[in-house]
Amino acid sequence: MATLRHQQEKLGLDTFLRGLWEENPVFVMLLGMCPVLAVTNSTMNAIAMGLATTFVLVASSGLISLLRNLIPKQVRIASYIVIIATFVTVVDYAIQAISLDLYNALGAFIQLIVANCVILGRAEAYASKQRLHTTLVNSLGMGAGFTVALLALGTVREVLGNGTLLGFQVMPANFEPWVVMILPPGGFFVLGSWLLLFAYIRQRQDQRVLEKGGVSDAR
């Protein structure tokens, strides 16, 4: 066997929740920024991209976890890329079959899921060392965290930039859309605002723990 035995994580609620909050791929680990900024100009795009990425993440992590003892260390990255690319191609065809409009809106970013560092990062850091069931739960959590983050950007950008939510008018008729929000700079503005908010919440939490004279665990 090429790899050393790693500490096997025990399946718990935390296995799933970590991806949503503590290790959120977008807001905490700042991974996969390219699709986060590029395709979140509407809620629908954000949902579709999030679900597509989640599917690729769960399926490829699962397969990698199953094959983890068979893949020699020297060719592991190549193997991971082939596996990830396979599932991206599957998603690519599936989205074309579901809706051509959606496929055109997402453009090249579906194929670019191959290069999304969240997926390769999970494969290398988690799936290649852990058993199947914890891997599936963990990657599902990470995918959910990624989707929630895309939604957080997509909804704000669509409401401010277009006055609509999922295509329905939500702003009053005399609302002048902030076009910049749909353009690439808007992605940076909204992402920056969310990061600021989360940093602020975290700081408040840390402070509260300190004021209580609490124990060293700041989280």
Partner 1 sequence: MMQAAPSTPGFRMIRTLGAIAMLSGLLVVLVFRWTEPIIAENQRIAIEKAVFQVVPGATRRVDVVLGADGIALATDAAGEGETVYAAFDEQGKLKGIALAAGAQGYQDVVKLLYGYDPACSCIRGIKILKMTETPGLGDKIAFDPGFLRNFEALSAVVNASGDGLTNPIEAVKHGHKQFAWEVDAISGATISSVAVANALNRSMQRMAPLIQRHRDALGEVVR
Contact residues toward partner 1 (CB under 8 A) are 2, 41, 67, 70-75, 78-79, 82-83, 85-86, 89-90, 93-94, 96-97, 99-100, 104, 161, 177, 179, 182-183
| Token pair of 76 as six digits | 């592991």
Q: Which is nearer to partner 1, 73 or 219 (CB)?
A: 73
Closest CA to 33 of 192, 180, 203, 170: 192
Q: Are 70 and 160 in contact (CB under 8 A)?
A: no
Contact by Cβ (8 Å): 16, 138: yes
CA–CA dist 11, 137 (Å, integer): 8
* Beta carbon of residue 68, minimum distance to partner 1 (angstroms, whole number): 12
CB of 149 to partner 1, least distance (A): 22
CB of 72 to partner 1, least distance (A): 4
Comparing CB distances to partner 1, the nearer of 17 and 51 is 51
Burial class (CB in 10 A: 0-12, 13-18, 19+), 90: middle
Q: How far is the CB of 191 from partner 1 (least distance, A)?
A: 18
Q: Count H helices, E strands: the chain?
A: 8, 2
